[in-house]
A and B are shown apart, each in its own frame.
Chain A
Amino acid sequence: MNYTQITPLEREEMLEAIGVAGVDELFSSIHPDDRLAGPLNLPPAASELELQNELNALAEENSGAHTHACFMGAGSYDHFIPTLIDQVVGRGEFLTAYTPYQAEASQGALQAFFEFQTQVAGLAALDVANASLYDGATAVAEAAMLAVNVNGRRRVLVASTVHPDSRAVLRTYFEELPVTVVEIPAGPDGIIDPEALAQAIDNDTACVIVQSPNFHGLIEDWNACFEAAHSIPKTLGIAVFNPIACGLLNRPGECGADVAVAEGQPLGTPLQFGGPYLGLFAAKNAFVRKMPGRLVGETVDTDGRRAFCLTLQTREQHIRREKATSNICTNQGLLALRATVFLNTLGPQGLAEMAEQSYHKAHYLATRIAEITGFALKYPDTRFFNEFVVTCPAPAAAIIEAAVHEGFLLGPPLDTPATGAQGSPNDLLICATEKRSRAELDSLVEFLAREYGLQTSD
C-alpha cells in the first residue's frame, strides 16, 4: 500500500493528456546505465493488518517506563503527560502542515508558536525566545555560536558538569573552527567553583556555559558564575536549564544569564528513546538578530487586525546562505506545540507543584537510600533538584541489571561512553519525578537494602 489514488484508467488519460506512451518515457533523462535494473532488495509490501501485528511484536519486545517504575533521568525525564496533549497535537491541521511561510494560511501554527515563545521566555525569565531548535545539546552549541558571533572571541568555557552529550556536540561544532572549547572541572562538592571559573576567564572568552541542575542533579551557583563571566565586558553567561525546575527554582534571567537553553523534552514529550526532542532557546533582547532558528512575530494585516508571521528571516539560510546565523531551517514544530499545550494545561500552579513534588520525592528517596548501610550520597552537602548520585556498595551496572527483574528502571551507570565516562563504576544516578508513588520509592529502597545493604537502619 503506497497511498496513491490514480486509477489505471485515469493513468491512461493522464499519459494521453501529457502526450507520452508510457510513464517510462517521463524518466528518459535518466541515462539507461544509471537506472536500477531490477526491484529494490527490500521486504515485500506489508498490509496494514500485518504491520500492526509486526509492530506490536517489536514494541512488546521492549521494557521501559511503560512496564517498569522509571528512576532514570540524565537528560530525559519521565514526567506526567496530560491526555490533552496527544489529542491536540494529533489533529491533522497541526500534524500535516508545513513551516508557516504562507502566514494567511497558517495563523493557527503561528499563534501557537508565538505563545510558545512567550512561555519559553517566561520560563527563562529572559526577553525573547525562538520557536525551538533540534534538541538540548544542539541548543547549547548554537548558544555558544551566538556568543562567538556577537563578541568575536575565540574561547568557549563550559562547565564539565554540563550534560555529556551537550559537551560532545559543542566539541564537534567547534572542532573545525578557530575556537577553543575549554572545560572547567567541578570542585569536590560536584559543582563549579565560581572562583576557579573567574580564574579561567580572560579577554578572549566568548561565553561561560553552566547547567543547573547539572548532569548530576546538583544546583549550581548561577549568580556567582555569571557574575564571574561579566567581570570581562561582553562575555556572555549561558545558562542550561531544566524547564520543569523553572516552576520552582531560580530561573536563568533571575541569576544574570544572557542566554538560556534547555532540553525541552520534560514539557510533555515522552522519553521515546531520546528523540525527537526539542531545544529551548531564550535570550536578552540585545541578541535577537543573532539568534538561530525560526522566530514568529506579531504584526497586523491590511485592516489592522492582529496577526502573526515568521520574522527576521534575513538571519536565515534561505536568504543569507553561507552568512546565515545557522543552517537550521526548521523548528521542532509538533514538539513545541506539545510543550505549549503542556504548559497551558498545567498552568503556573501545576508546574510549581510538579517541580515541588519532584523535589520532595527525590529528597525523600535520597534520604532513605543514604540510610542503607553501604550506600551514600556522593555529594551529601550539595543541593539538588530531582536526581542525585549514590555511591553503591556494588557496581552500578550489576544493580541496574538486577533491578530490571524487580520492576525498576535504574541508571545509567556513570562510567560508560553514553554518560561521558566521568564517574566511578559504583556511582549511580537516580531520579524521581512526581510520577513515582511513595510505594514505588519505598519498594526501591527495600530492594536495594535487601540485595545490597549490609543492614538497614530506620
Chain B
Amino acid sequence: MKSTHADALTRPEIHTMGTDKDANVTTENIVTATPRGDRPVEPLVFEKSIPGQRAVTLPPLDVPETALPSEIVGGGFPGAEIGQLDLMRHYTHLAQRNFSVDGQFYPLGSCTMKYNPRINEWAASLPGFTGLHPLQAETETQGLLRLLFELRGFLEEIAGLDEVCLQPAAGAHGEYTALKVIRAFYHDHGQSQRNKVLAPDTAHGTNPASCAMCGANVITVPSASGYTDVDALKEVIDREGADTIAAFMITNPNTAGLFDSKITEIAGIMHEAGGMVYLDGANMNAILGKARPGDFGVDAMHYNTHKTFSTPHGCGGPGSGPIAVTTKLAPYLPVPQVEYDDVRSMFSLNYNRPKSIGKVRSFFGQIGVLIRCWAYIRSCGPDGLRDVAEMSVLNANYLASQLHARYETPYFEPGKGKWCAHEFITVPKSLLAHGVTLLDIAKRLIDYGIHPPTMHWPVHDCLMVEPTETESKRTLDTFIDAMSRIADEIESHDDAMHDAPADAPVRRLDEVAASRKPRLTFTDSQ
C-alpha cells in the first residue's frame, strides 16, 4: 500500500438527484413566484437541488493521495446539492408541519407524551459523554460507567426487582430480551417444554410479535370488564397444561387504563403453575413510588424510558427499554453487565456471565437516552416520582370525569368508585350514532390544535386519552372545551367534521392508495 500520488485518481461521478443532468439548465425561467395560497406543498430536498451548491466544505487534504483502483470505486451517492440557508429553511418548513409536545397538547394514550426537560438534553450532549468510544478502556470512562451503574440501581429500586439490564433499545426489544432470558432459565432447569406465553386479548401488539421471535406460542387470555378474567386464566392453564407455560405477559395498569387489583392472585396462579409473570411496563407512570412490580409478584418487566422517564420520543425514537428481573433470572441477562468491581475498585463491563443469553444489540445500550433517564430520576427524587404518579392519575380522572357525560367511558364509573389510572378509554357511541366516524373526531381535534388521542386500541371505536402529569389545568380545561364543542358540532350535524382537518398543512390523506402501490422513495423520473 505505497503512496503513489502521482497515479491518476478514480473518483465517483457526482450525480445530483432531482435535476436532469442532460438538460441545459439555466437560472432563467425555472422558478415562478406564486402567492402561498391554500396549504402550499414543501418541495422535496431533491427538488430544491442545484448542482454546485454546498452547505459545508471540508479542509483540503493534508496527506499524499493513495491510488484508488477503478475496480473498487463505485457510482457515488446520488443526493441533493443545496446551500446551508436553503437547507435550514427546508427543515424549518418541515418542523412547522409537525405537531409536538413542545407545541401542542398530545394526549396520546399508552405513549405518555410528557414534557421532555431540557436539562436532560443538555446532559446527554456533554462532550464528556458524546465523545466516548464504546471500546475504550474502562479506566477512561469511569464517570459514565458510574452513572450507568447508579441508573441500574434506581431502576431496580423502582421495580422492586433484583437486577436491571440497561441494554434493550426499545420496549419491544426489552420484551424480546426478557422472554429470551425466561426461555434460557427454563432450558437451564430442564423445562424446555415451557414454550407457551399467555397474553391478554388487550395486550400491545408487540407482546405476541416478541413471543413469535422467541419461538414461543402465544395463547390469548380473555378479559372481562377490562380486567384479566381469572377463571379464564385458570381454564387456559388447565387446557394447555401447566408444565407447558413459560409466562403470562400482563400490562398493569392495563391497556384499559385500570390497575388490576387481582394482580397478586394472578401472580400466585402463575407461580403455582411453575410459570412467571412478565410485566409490560408501558404504564409505569401511574404507579411510580406507589406500588412496585416486584412486590406484587412480577418476575420480569421492561421499562419504556421514553414514556415513564421523560426521554424524548423523537418522531419515533430512539427509545430505550431496560429490563428488570428477579435473582433467579439474573444470570441469563445479556452481556456485558455494568458492575462495580470490588477487586479493582472501579466500575466495569462484565462479559464473564457464562449463562448469559449473549448479545441482543451492538455495544451496550441507548447510552444517550439512559443519561437523560438518570437526570430525570435525580431531578424528581423519590417524592417527586410518587407525585408524578399521583398527578398523572389526577389529571386523567379529571378529564374522564368532565367528559364521560358525552363521551362514554366503559371502564370509568365514578358512581361505583371505579376510577381510571393515568389514562382512560372513551367509546363515544352516542356521538358516533350521528353518522360521524372516530376518524372525524380525531381529525377535528387537529383543527383545535390538539394531537388526537390513540384510536381503535385496545378496542374498536375507542379513543385512549392520556394527559400525563405535566399538563396544566388550563390545558386540560381547553381540551375539555374542545371535546365539548366537537360534540356540539356532531349533534348539529356540522359538515365540517367530515372535512377535518381544515387547518393542517394537508387535508385528509388517501392512506389506502399509499399501500396499494407503495412509493417509498423519490426517483428522478417522478
Contact = CB atoms under 8 A, between A and B. Distances in A.
B506 interface: yes
A437 B59 CA distance: 10
Interface in A94-142: 94-100, 102-109, 111-115, 117-119, 121-123, 125, 127-129, 131-132, 134-138
B213 A173 contact: yes
A420 B320 CA distance: 25
Interface string B232-260: 00000000000000000000000000111
A378 B2 CA distance: 15
Interface stretch (B24-32, B70-78, B268-276, B489-497): B70-78
B328 interface: no
Interface in B160-181: 160, 169-173, 175-176, 180
A176 B103 contact: no
B470 interface: yes
A309 B509 contact: yes
Q: Which of B72, B76, B124, B522 has the most CB atoms of chain A within a 10 A radius of its CB?
A: B76
B111 interface: yes
Given A35-B291, A112-B94, A409 B133 contact: yes
Contact of B170 (A104, A134, A309, A321): A134
Contacts of A296: 520
A110 to B, nearest CB: 9
Interface stretch (A151-159, A227-235, A350-358): A350-358
B133 A404 contact: no
B265 to A, nearest CB: 9
A275 B362 contact: yes
Given A34-B263, A76-B135, A272-B368, A62 B95 contact: no
B345 interface: no
B136 A276 contact: no
Contacts of B515: 297, 311-314
Interface string B88-121: 1011011111111111101010010111110101
B317 A335 contact: yes
A131 B55 CA distance: 24
A42 B385 contact: yes
B8 interface: no
B453 to A, nearest CB: 10
B507 A172 contact: no
A165 B318 contact: no
A1 B46 CA distance: 45
Interface residues of B, number: 212
Sorting the interface of chain A by its residue count into under 10, 10 to 19, 20 to 34 or 35 or more gives: 35 or more
Interface stretch (A185-193, A194-202, A323-331, A448-456): A323-331
Contact of A350 (B57, B106, B131, B215): B57
Contact of B142 (A27, A29, A61): A61
Contacts of B366: 275-276
Given A249-B74, A401-B137, A118 B521 contact: yes
B358 A168 contact: yes
B319 interface: yes
A237 interface: no
A303 B522 contact: no
B185 to A, nearest CB: 13
Contacts of B108: 98
Nearest to B111: A98
A421 to B, nearest CB: 10
A209 interface: no
A246 B78 CA distance: 10
A341 interface: yes
Contacts of A341: 87, 91
Contacts of B513: 299-300
B205 A297 contact: no
A356 B315 contact: no
B393 A23 contact: yes
Nearest to B95: A93
Given A2-B388, A302-B508, A326-B213, A58 B359 contact: no
Given A95-B100, A122-B79, A51 B123 contact: yes
Interface in B369-417: 369, 375, 377-388, 390-391, 393-395, 397-398, 401-402, 414, 417
Contact of B316 (A36, A66, A330, A383): A330
B20 interface: no
A331 B316 contact: yes
A7 to B, nearest CB: 8
Contacts of A19: 401, 414
Contacts of B103: 92-93, 96
Contact of A66 (B130, B144, B290, B364): B130
A284 interface: no
A312 B515 CA distance: 5
Given A136-B362, A328-B172, A404-B137, A94 B130 contact: no
A330 B172 contact: yes
B183 interface: yes
A108 B98 contact: yes
B129 interface: yes
A321 B397 CA distance: 31
Given A42-B377, A351-B76, A411-B135, 13 more contacts: A1-B380, A2-B384, A14-B395, A39-B289, A45-B380, A109-B98, A263-B362, A271-B133, A275-B169, A276-B368, A326-B213, A351-B77, A412-B135
5 contacts: A2-B388, A97-B314, A320-B209, A326-B213, A438-B62
